[in-house]
Structure 1
Amino acid sequence: MLGRKASRCVAVLNKTAARSSLGLKTAKRMLSSSNWKLLSSKSVNFNSVKTAKFTAGINGAVGLLCVGVGGYSLYNKIEQQGNWFSEWSNSNIIKLDSFQKNFSSTSKAQEKDSQSQSINILAEEAIERKLHSNEYSYSVDREKSEIQRFDVSQLPSNDPIEDSHVEQILTNNGNDVWFYGVFDGHGGPYTSSKLSTDVIPYIARYLAPIFNKPEYSQQDVNNSFQKAFVELDNDIVLNGFKDLFDSPSRETLLEKTLPAISGSCCLLTMYDTKKSMLTISITGDSRAILVSKDHNSDGHGKSTNNWTVQALTKDQTAEVPEEIERIRKEHPEDESRTCIFNGRILGSLQPSRAFGDYRYKIDNVDGKKFSELPPEVKMFLRRSPRYLKTPPYVTAAPVVTSHKIDPSKDKFMVIASDGLYEFLNNDEIASLVVDWYSRQTSDNKDKFGNNGTIVVKDLDSLNPGLKHDSRFKTGLPSINKDENCSTHIIRNALSCGGQKEYVDTFVSIPSPMSRKYRDDLTVTVVFFGDSKDPITTTSSPSPSSFAAGDGVTLNEKASTPVSKAKL
């Protein structure tokens, strides 16, 4: 028999459990209804959703749900707010198992904390300003170029943005050699910024003697990329820390060593107009795709008018079987369980190849340990990973491939940081490009077959570890208001199928909070073609337009550049 006090405690506990169960059942019942509505308020509270999670790439909009702690209060909040977004099924919005066990009402302390984390949806003008502030578009009119135009756009999530990019023309005996690169930084912008200024000069030094030959092989070109990437990373990491040990001060660290401390993926493409050859060099998990026009016949003399998309890169992360096998072979057998676990290198870093990231590559410099550095310098360094035994575990050595471009059918190349692919897969991006292209060339619809369908040509390179938001489907309406194709892709990636409210929300979330819901976004679209293609420009540039070299002119109508591009 229980004592009186013990019995009273049991009764209280049973009553509390019953209330919690009722709250949970109420929440489940309300969320399973297809008629529940999201907030109509323009103020978004993020604290009240700390017990709810969004699925896949739409994580950011979890803040908009403003889920109450209790099941009944959740129902009341939903009923009071009206309809902001379109209705969604509960399977796309909330995982119920993430709710706290205690479904009591929100305390005053919680309410005060909620108010401190509330944000406002930006005004329309401010949203458009953020979407366009880091975009530009160039028309190309250069003899034998085979590149008509390129569009670039960025939307930061980190402050400052950790992504960088480069567009550069080199000339080779009268022939153009085009470079387009996207550098997805992590742990700071320093490595990606370093790549944007140094990676092409390093490659050019290896390419110069090759290009001076009457004939050269593609393998020689590929080897040049391999050597340049490795040499540049050695200079960043080893020389960066040698300088720091030689002169251990904050000034040296800031000027020489920061690119070794942070890290960056690197996707660099080179188009050689002499051979119409595209070289793709990838270190990390950014991606390149090629969108082409299929001129095949249906067997009855009629063109199929299909578009195809082909992946040009394969992700290099600790979730890709080939990378897992490679890294484990490079280390002793007793490290097979620790060099990669939880889908990350040493349980921490997701990309298996990257520039910088010294912590995964070295544990000393010429026998000198990092612990020997003075405190005012060590404070900027992170602790070595727990299972670091036989570095390096991460390499900057790229995978280099090539693709022969046929400008009559190969129309677009899209390169982007992995933040884009968290929302869209390859065929969805291709659909958006073709949709944009159809509007630009409406008078040529029959000629270019713009009503064709998207057919995925290469599925093998889609990374199974990177889950994108599958709610954006081919055929759903897109938002068509951008003259810049890259901005068009970013806007619609955030729209979850043409819904403006989602765009407004994702753009409005301030840094650093936004990093919980989306990454930095950098997208470059390159247009291949000849003089017969009608996509040279969207406007007639004025004489005052920034001329980035002979025959390369800013499309003012399609651009709102913050600064002049380096070309």
Structure 2
Amino acid sequence: MFTRQLMQAAPIAAHTRVAATRAWPSTTPIIRRSLATSRPNTSRASFRQHPPPPPQMHDVTPDTTRRNAIIAGILLSAALGAWYYETTTMGAYSKEPEFSVTVGRGAKTWSFPRKPMAELEQMMHQHEKTTSPGRKGNPVLRWDTNYVASNEPCEDRSAADVVPRGPARKSWWSWGAAPAENTDAVGSRDLVLVSVVDGHAGDATSKLLERTLHPTLALALAGLQAGIVPGASWYSNLADTLTWAKTWSPSNVAKTLQNAYVQLDDNICHEPIKMLPELLKTDDIVKTVETRHKFVALTEPASHGAVAASALVDAENKGLYVAVAGDCRAVAGWQRPDGSWRCDTLTEDQMGDNPKEVARMRSEHPVHEADTVIRNGRVQGGLQPTRAFGDAVYKWTTLQGEAIAAVFKDEGAKPRSIRPWNFTPPYVTARPEVTYRSLEGEDKLRFVVLATDGLWDRITSEEAALLVAGYLAHPKAEPISKEGLATEIPLALTEPRPYPVEALPGTGKRAKGTWAFDGDKNAATHLIRNAFGGADRKEFQELLSLHGPAARYFRDDMTVTVVLFDDEGKSSN
């Protein structure tokens, strides 16, 4: 017991020492929650009411000395054994008190042991990754990525790539001109692509997008650089090519990103339809089984679904583009010449409770479907995001959906059912909204946060910007109250604020709680840590100790990528 009390007291004693790193200068001291447990007091004093008097010098003999040494050795061995047991994963896990949660329609109760902090820290850092382009002229300094799963397996994915661009197109009259200066700046014409993907109803769509989304975007952008503008007539594209007209512009880049998203989704959802006749026309049982097995595997990305957000950094033209289909989100942090910060939410959540999305969807379908297109804030009462890859049951006709469901059942797989009121599909699109920002100007872009909705369920866009701004100044510092950080770093906002507009940091309910600055080397880990309770260690422990079906009631898969930009506008090798 003495060993346990000593081990419990150690963290508290360590906390009372003055931090070696710089603390937040204007914050008030924070009273921490006691770490003591509810175990009864069983100290040695309670077992020995009348201790014997100390031995006199004449009572000490060689025998008593030897006996005392043996007893001391036994006690020391026992203490060391208890310490070792309690510091191992098994001992710490078994000795931690349990907690219970009651959730669900049936009010089911689950009990979980609180995992030891060492295990949770390992969980926090398990998937983190930091990557630097390492190319002169590229404005991206590095990107930090991390994820913590709730689903088993995790349905989130992410991707990041640097796409070197070939030589710029020249006009016919400058064909023989000398090459531009600073040719040693190898990254000055780079394109940087960063995406986060949030799967649902399975992980087949998100796994496919992790491998195919960026190659699709890169190929489309290469076509634009060659003079092919999506939606333009063939003779217009031919004329642009022959005259070396400049086709790379913010509007054309946005069209290219949108077209690439839609074309990729069409391939995912409609290729299975093309395979159906081949599957149904053969009478060869063996061939039918093989074809059916292949068909189900290829159709799973259409049957499942995923939302996505992609950021494109154009080094040559000093531009930032963000495309989003669904409820992933991107938030940018700009630093002004005086050192103050501005939060710029670059995306709007495309969900069934967003009034703009409801109006758009109703405008795309007959008036008599006004009450069924969106029901209870969901597409036809089922899907929450209004834009997504896959989710083909909202895009196929009823006849197509029933034919594919029959093949799934024959293969022993569970199909998603076509929704009712399926009169004029598609009801869901992968066409993204694209936002453009110039990187030129007095305000300097310092970071962009891209994350799945697991993060945004727990913190706001403005809180994420505030946390990263604070992290860049003080990666490691004493915990600070939410109200204190909002006061310490005043945050201007880019208006109008997109949906959903939430309470500002440090106000109302957003003023309660404490942020943690634990010195994480990965900015994405820093955000995830604070989304899981920050400096509230009890909340942090309990949220991360949840697993299985109960976890989804409290936290979703959480994937975060933080793109950090060089504050001087150029990266080095």
Tell me, in whole angstroms, the C-alpha distance in 1 between the residues paired with 2:561 and 2:444: 19
Tell me, in whole angstroms, the C-alpha distance in 2 between the residues paired with 1:286 and 1:46: 31
Distance 1:323 1:367, change over 3 A: closer
Alignment correspondent of 2:446 = 411
Alignment correspondent of 1:498 = 535
- The 5 A counterparts of 1:365-376 are 369-370=403-404, 372-373=406-407, 375-376=409-410
Alignment correspondent of 1:181 = 195
The reply to whether residue 429 of structure 1 matches residue 472 of structure 2 is no
The reply to whether residue 118 of structure 1 matches residue 89 of structure 2 is no
- Pick one of 97, 100, 110 that aligns with 1:46: 100
Distance 1:237 1:119, change over 3 A: same
Tell me, in whole angstroms, the C-alpha distance in 2 between the residues paired with 1:284 and 1:466: 22
Tell me, in whole angstroms, the C-alpha distance in 1 between the residues paired with 2:563 and 2:216: 23
The reply to whether residue 517 of structure 1 matches residue 571 of structure 2 is no
User: Which SS does the other structure have where 1:348 is aligned?
Assistant: coil
Which one-letter code corresponds to 1:478 in the other structure?
A
The reply to whether residue 480 of structure 1 matches residue 512 of structure 2 is no
Alignment correspondent of 1:238 = 270
Which range moved further: 323-332 or 461-470? 461-470
Query: How many Å apart are 1:388 and its aligned residue?
Result: 2.1
Alignment correspondent of 1:273 = 315
User: Which SS does the other structure have where 2:532 is aligned?
Assistant: helix
- Pick one of 348, 355, 372 that aligns with 1:314: 348
Distance 1:475 1:410, change over 3 A: farther
- Pick one of 221, 239, 261 that aligns with 2:253: 221
Unaligned runs of 5+ in 1: 1-35, 53-97, 101-112, 296-302, 443-449, 537-549, 552-567
Distance 1:39 1:325, change over 3 A: farther
Tell me, in whole angstroms, the C-alpha distance in 1 between the residues paired with 2:333 and 2:409: 52
Which one-letter code corresponds to 2:470 in the other structure?
D
TM-score, with structure 2 as normaliser: 0.68
Q: How many residues align?
A: 424
Which one-letter code corresponds to 2:274 in the other structure?
K
Distance 1:434 1:211, change over 3 A: same
The reply to whether residue 162 of structure 1 matches residue 155 of structure 2 is yes
TM-score, with structure 1 as normaliser: 0.68
Alignment correspondent of 1:341 = 375
Cα offsets for 1:362-401 (capped at 9, x unmatched): 1257798346537323742022212322211101111112
Which one-letter code corresponds to 2:259 in the other structure?
K
- The 5 A counterparts of 1:344-355 are 344-355=378-389
Which one-letter code corresponds to 1:176 in the other structure?
D
- Pick one of 132, 139, 145 that aligns with 2:138: 145
Alignment correspondent of 1:289 = 331
Tell me, in whole angstroms, the C-alpha distance in 2 between the residues paired with 1:374 and 1:428: 44
The 8 Å contact of residues 428 and 474 in structure 1, kept in 2 or not, is answered as: no
Which one-letter code corresponds to 1:329 in the other structure?
S
The reply to whether residue 258 of structure 1 matches residue 300 of structure 2 is yes
User: Which SS does the other structure have where 2:264 is aligned?
Assistant: helix
Q: Percent identity?
A: 29
The 8 Å contact of residues 364 and 370 in structure 1, kept in 2 or not, is answered as: no
Distance 1:237 1:383, change over 3 A: same
The 8 Å contact of residues 288 and 313 in structure 1, kept in 2 or not, is answered as: yes
The reply to whether residue 388 of structure 1 matches residue 422 of structure 2 is yes
Distance 1:441 1:154, change over 3 A: closer
Tell me, in whole angstroms, the C-alpha distance in 2 between the residues paired with 1:207 and 1:350: 31
The reply to whether residue 129 of structure 1 matches residue 100 of structure 2 is no
Distance 1:466 1:395, change over 3 A: farther
Which range moved further: 337-346 or 220-229? 220-229
Unaligned runs of 5+ in 2: 1-32, 39-95, 167-185, 228-243, 280-287, 478-486
The 8 Å contact of residues 424 and 470 in structure 1, kept in 2 or not, is answered as: no
Report the structure number with the largest CA radius of gyration: 2
User: Which SS does the other structure have where 1:265 is aligned?
Assistant: strand
Tell me, in whole angstroms, the C-alpha distance in 2 between the residues paired with 1:308 and 1:170: 29
Which range moved further: 144-153 or 475-484? 475-484
Query: How many Å apart are 1:245 and its aligned residue?
Result: 5.7
User: Which SS does the other structure have where 1:180 is aligned?
Assistant: strand
User: Which SS does the other structure have where 1:396 is aligned?
Assistant: coil
The 8 Å contact of residues 155 and 200 in structure 2, kept in 1 or not, is answered as: yes
